[in-house]
């Protein structure tokens, strides 16, 4: 029989080069994974996806074993390191699998983690390797998805990951890290977390709102995690153009939304250079009168309009329409061309 594997009694066809994991998931058969990261080369380090293959003397990892004519049964191996004080509690892949497969840890609380000091000096990311399960997803995310190559895996003589290091084992802030946060999003446990939101909210407390990042024209799709009307975290959505990835601005640049320093009312500049608060009606009337006056006195081409990458496409479109159709000038430009 060619190009057929039998998974738990189900005959499934496969394409050359497909892994057991890919064939099974295409057929809707779930094989649990931890270290597997979509779009990157498999490592098989966590061994959560091990399956029994007929005729093979040992268990194989479904994520890195190519499908071949064979039969196998799934087995699950997982450890239970999840605890209620973990910052990822409720949003942890390890905890999810432990619940789903009813895995119980056999180590007493307090002996579960290697005591490693947390790295808190970075601007956006806390690294807590006491919680690291050494799956290597962060390194795949950094090196193969974002291609920043800021972190690597140290391995022992058996090829097992012993530590994740940045540069020559430095804090991220002293390495080539650009703080895109891809590693944080890929971490399946609470070993890498966003500094600003650690312990400030629980995943179950937030409402997720899908929107478009407005920092630049790429238009990355993002999800805002909102608690009590405040954005507490941003994650990428796995659709084009970004397929889940974000840059530092899209992922971490949201503090301005709830900033106390943000202008909420228009300010009118007085003759002496001071500003005073005004109503929108007053401010818009004043701007309209001034623009009209300049246009009438010295012509529309004496006016220029600059728009911004911080605005949405729709707002930029409106600005262009206003400039050309209302002001009657083609003097419209955008900060991206500076």
> In angstroms, rounded to a whole number, what is the distance separating the alpha carbons of residues 171 and 167?
8
Using CB under 6 A as the binding rule, whether residue 135 contacts ligand SF4 is answered as yes
CB of 215 vs ligand SF4, minimal distance in Å: 3
> In angstroms, rounded to a whole number, what is the distance separating the alpha carbons of residues 264 and 161?
51
End-to-end Cα, the chain, rounded Å: 64
What is the footprint of ligand SF4 within residues 105-134 (CB under 6 A)? 132-134
Element (H, E) at 125: strand 125-127
Using CB under 6 A as the binding rule, whether residue 194 contacts ligand SF4 is answered as no
Choose, by CB under 6 A, the member of 72, 179, 252, 254 that binds ligand SF4: 179
8 A C-beta contact, residue 76 and residue 99 = no
CB of 157 vs ligand SF4, minimal distance in Å: 19
8 A C-beta contact, residue 224 and residue 209 = yes
Instruction: Spell out, one character per residue from 136 to 155, where the chain touches ligand SF4: x when CB under 6 A holds, - when not.
Output: xxx--xx---x-x-xx----
The site for ligand SF4, by CB under 6 A, has a size of 38
CB of 153 vs ligand SF4, minimal distance in Å: 7
Among candidate residues 62, 76, 48, the one with its CA nearest the CA of residue 135: 48
Q: How far is CA 295 from the centre of its chain?
A: 47
Give the contacts of 147 (CB within 8 A, at least 6 positions apart).
Answer: none
Using CB under 6 A as the binding rule, whether residue 98 contacts ligand SF4 is answered as no
Element (H, E) at 291: helix 280-298
Residue with Cβ nearer ligand SF4 (7 or 126)? 126
Choose, by CB under 6 A, the member of 18, 167, 215, 266 that binds ligand SF4: 215
Instruction: Spell out, one character per residue from 220 to 259, where the chain touches ligand SF4: x when CB under 6 A holds, - when not.
Output: x---------------------x---xx-xx---------
- What DSSP state is assigned to residue 108? P
> In angstroms, rounded to a whole number, what is the distance separating the alpha carbons of residues 276 and 287?
15
Choose, by CB under 6 A, the member of 186, 193, 206, 232 that binds ligand SF4: 186
Q: Which residues bind ligand SF4 (CB under 6 A)?
A: 132-138, 141-142, 146, 148, 150-151, 164, 172, 177-183, 186-187, 189, 191-192, 213, 215-216, 218-220, 242, 246-247, 249-250
């Amino acid at each position: 029989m060619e190009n057929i594997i039998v998974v738990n009694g189900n005959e499934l066809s496969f394409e050359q080069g497909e892994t057991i994991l890919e064939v099974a998931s295409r057929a809707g058969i779930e094989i649990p994974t931890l270290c597997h990261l979509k779009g990157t080369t498999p490592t098989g380090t966590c061994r959560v996806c091990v399956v029994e293959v007929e005729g093979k003397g040992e268990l194989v990892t479904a994520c890195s074993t190519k499908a071949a004519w064979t039969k196998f049964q799934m087995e699950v191996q997982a450890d239970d390191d999840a605890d209620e004080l973990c910052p990822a509690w409720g949003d942890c892949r390890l905890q999810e699998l432990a619940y789903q497969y009813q895995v119980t840890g056999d180590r007493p609380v307090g002996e579960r983690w290697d005591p490693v000091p947390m790295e808190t000096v970075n601007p956006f990311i806390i690294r807590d390797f006491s919680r690291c399960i050494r799956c290597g997803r962060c390194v795949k995310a950094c090196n193969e998805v974002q291609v920043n190559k800021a972190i690597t895996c140290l391995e022992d003589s058996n090829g097992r990951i012993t530590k994740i290091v940045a540069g020559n084992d430095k804090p991220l802030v002293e390495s080539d890290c650009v703080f895109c946060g891809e590693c944080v999003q890929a971490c399946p446990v609470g070993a890498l977390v966003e500094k600003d939101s650690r312990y400030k909210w629980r995943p179950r407390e937030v409402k997720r709102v899908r929107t478009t990042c407005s920092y630049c024209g790429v238009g990355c799709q993002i999800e805002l995690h909102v608690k009590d009307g405040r954005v507490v975290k941003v994650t990428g959505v796995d659709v084009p153009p970004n397929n889940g990835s974000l840059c530092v601005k899209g992922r971490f640049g949201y503090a301005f939304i709830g900033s106390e320093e943000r202008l909420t009312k228009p300010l009118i500049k007085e003759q002496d250079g001071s500003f005073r608060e005004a109503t929108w009606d007053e401010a818009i009337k004043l701007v309209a009168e001034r623009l009209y006056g300049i246009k009438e006195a010295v012509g529309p081409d004496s006016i220029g309009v600059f728009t911004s990458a911080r605005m949405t496409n729709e707002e930029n479109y409106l600005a262009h329409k206003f400039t050309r159709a209302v002001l009657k000038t083609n003097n419209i430009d955008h900060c991206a061309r500076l």
